[in-house]
Chain A
Amino acid sequence: MSNEVTAEILGTHILDLAREGRRLDGRGLDEYRAVSIEHGFVASADGSALARIGHSAVVCGVKLEPGKPFPDTPNAGVLTTNAELVPLSNPTFEPGPPHPRAIEVSRVIDRAIRAAEAIDLKKLCVTPGEKTWVCYVDVHVIDHSGNLIDTGSLAALAALTHATLPAKRFGIGEDSPLAVQHFPVETTFARLGDAIVVDPSFDEELACQGRLTIATDEAANVVAMQKGLVGAFSPEDVKSLAERAFRHGDRMRKLAIGG
């Protein structure tokens, strides 16, 4: 049987299950897979974490280096987020220039960090207009088993909250913790028929009729959203998903900041 046919059969099965309030892996509709975070996974990074949601695994490394500020924001640091969906993470990924889906993952993670003002960029300024810290957040997907946005944003938040400004290495003073002032967390939902499940698995993402990511901060703000894939959500869906996102976000935030 071709992949197309098996995917179609599996998709139909997933939708049938969802109609009865069930999921392929036995989870409830509003239940995440097991979440774990290992802080400081990469010693060569200034902040890092390995986050797992179910079988999805993402390593995030934060690197801080002195650089030049943008001309239009002379008093602010620079933040760049990049996500790589490397070919080892999934049989469907090929080497080459970044696929739009990788670009979307990085931009959605970046948007939450930026919009929540997770990092006080003004504090990264060393000499206005000349020298500032540039904060690179590199998200490396090593196992794609669904819901990369949540896994990646969790890894990023965990890496940032434990990052060190390596001032000594660059002769700009003493090392200090990177000042993280807000803590955005992304919560992703997928529509399966009339049901809307949290934390879609790889197969659920293939079968779903629309995906919605809602990023929340610790002060009960929605800071970013992204609807993706083919499908639709009503405004009432979005309102109730925001409430669910606040609840999941609080739990994830504690895990990311944790130990």
Chain B
Amino acid sequence: MGSVGAKEVPVLLTPDGKRIDGRHLDDLREIKIVAGALHQADGSAYVEWGANKVMAAVYGPREVHPRHLQQNNKAIVQCKYNMAAFSVDERKRPGLDRRSQEISKVIAEAFESVIFVEEYPRTSIDVYIEVLQANAGTRCAGVVAASVALADAGIPMVDLLPSVAVGKVAGQIVLDLKKEEDNFGEADMPMALVPQSGRLVLLQMEGHMTADELGRSLDLGVKGCRAIYEKMKQALRDRYETGAGPAAGVAQ
């Protein structure tokens, strides 16, 4: 999308059903998750997902700033999703643009749907997501990183929140779009799943899908989320079960 009059469209799908990077239609890119990657934060996580590099930190529950946002019966969940200026090919102007603000809003709402906010009245749980290197699916990588960071911070939640995008590329429903597929594909649908309830707390879509394609995309996305869920749990086990100690760090 957004490809009106743009550069040449690359071959996104070979005749034998291989994608631009050799994946099958329902393959995820490689995902590496490190729980506890920062020193200062109450909880943190680092995710490398294909060519995405995303860091998330959680602070709180802590005092609410500004004060008037405080809620007497529950914690508020605030999220800041931010892309570094150098994270994309053409330098992005730093600061909050409208896209980032919208993404921050839907991510905050997704997490508020799973956090036991009523246990921490008059506090704020702050989730920060920094995209250091972007290659499509950064909000999903951000949700995965933030979710592991929340768990790392010991915030009680219904469940972890695996997230992935499904899309339509060369007429086929595919899992986990990379940049070329996102730019030149026909649809993109990021989602985040609560594995325990099987419900979606984040869902967006842009493009063209029939009712049938939408149905198949949802099913494929749920499958993808469940695979990512295992990786998220493993990352937390690696940090806390093996006695490897705190803060494995990004570099390692």
Chain A interface (Cβ < 8 Å from any Cβ of B): 4, 72-76, 98, 100-101, 103-104, 106-107, 111, 114-115, 121-122, 125, 210, 212, 217, 220-235, 237-239, 242-243, 246
CB atoms of A104 and B5 under 8 A apart: no
Q: When each residue 193-211 of chain B gets 1 if its CB lies under 8 Å from chain A and 0 otherwise, what string results?
A: 0100111111111111111
CB atoms of B112 and A103 under 8 A apart: no
Given A221-B210, A235-B218, 20 extra CB contacts under 8 A: A73-B5, A107-B102, A115-B1, A210-B201, A223-B208, A223-B209, A224-B206, A224-B207, A225-B203, A226-B106, A227-B106, A227-B201, A232-B197, A233-B199, A234-B197, A235-B198, A238-B218, A242-B214, A243-B211, A246-B211
Known: A227-B106, A231-B201, A239-B218. A72 touches B211 (CB 8 A): no
**Residue B109 at the chain A interface, CB threshold 8 Å:** yes
CB atoms of A225 and B189 under 8 A apart: yes
A125 to chain B, nearest CB (A): 8
What separation, in Å, do the CA atoms of A101 and B211 have in the docked complex? 28
Interface centre among A111, A212, A229, A230 (most CB of B within 10 A): A230
Residues of B within 8 A of A235 (CB): 198, 200, 215, 218-219, 221-222
Chain B's closest residue to A110 (CB) is B98
**Residue B101 at the chain A interface, CB threshold 8 Å:** yes
B200's partner among A74, A122, A222, A238 (CB-CB below 8 A) is A238
CB atoms of B205 and A222 under 8 A apart: yes
Size of interface on B: residues with Cβ below 8 Å to A? 41
**Residue B113 at the chain A interface, CB threshold 8 Å:** yes
CB atoms of B205 and A225 under 8 A apart: yes
Residues of A within 8 A of B198 (CB): 234-235
User: Interface majority SS on A: helix, strand, loop or mixed?
Assistant: mixed
Known: A76-B4, A103-B102, A232-B194. A238 touches B201 (CB 8 A): no
Residues of B within 8 A of A222 (CB): 205, 208-211, 214
Cross-chain pairs A/B with CB under 8 angstroms, 26 sampled: A100-B101, A101-B105, A103-B101, A107-B99, A114-B1, A114-B206, A115-B1, A115-B207, A122-B4, A210-B201, A221-B208, A221-B209, A221-B210, A222-B205, A222-B211, A223-B206, A223-B209, A227-B201, A227-B202, A232-B194, A232-B199, A233-B200, A235-B218, A235-B222, A238-B214, A239-B214
Chain B's closest residue to A212 (CB) is B203
Chain B's closest residue to A115 (CB) is B206
User: Interface majority SS on B: helix, strand, loop or mixed?
Assistant: mixed
Q: When each residue 90-126 of chain B gets 1 if its CB lies under 8 Å from chain A and 0 otherwise, what string results?
A: 0000000011011011100100110000000000000
B106 to chain A, nearest CB (A): 6
Chain A's closest residue to B113 (CB) is A230
CB atoms of B5 and A74 under 8 A apart: yes
CB atoms of A231 and B204 under 8 A apart: no
B241 to chain A, nearest CB (A): 29
Chain B's closest residue to A112 (CB) is B206
B141 to chain A, nearest CB (A): 18
Residues of B within 8 A of A246 (CB): 211
What separation, in Å, do the CA atoms of A258 and B174 have in the docked complex? 38
**8 A-B pairs with the lowest CB-CB distances in the bound complex, closest first:** A232-B199, A75-B5, A225-B205, A227-B203, A235-B218, A76-B4, A100-B105, A76-B5
Chain A's closest residue to B218 (CB) is A235
CB atoms of A122 and B5 under 8 A apart: yes
**Residue B6 at the chain A interface, CB threshold 8 Å:** yes
A20 to chain B, nearest CB (A): 23
**Residue B72 at the chain A interface, CB threshold 8 Å:** yes
What separation, in Å, do the CA atoms of A210 and B197 have in the docked complex? 15
A227's partner among B7, B101, B204, B219 (CB-CB below 8 A) is B204
Interface centre among A104, A114, A210, A227 (most CB of B within 10 A): A227
Chain B's closest residue to A125 (CB) is B5
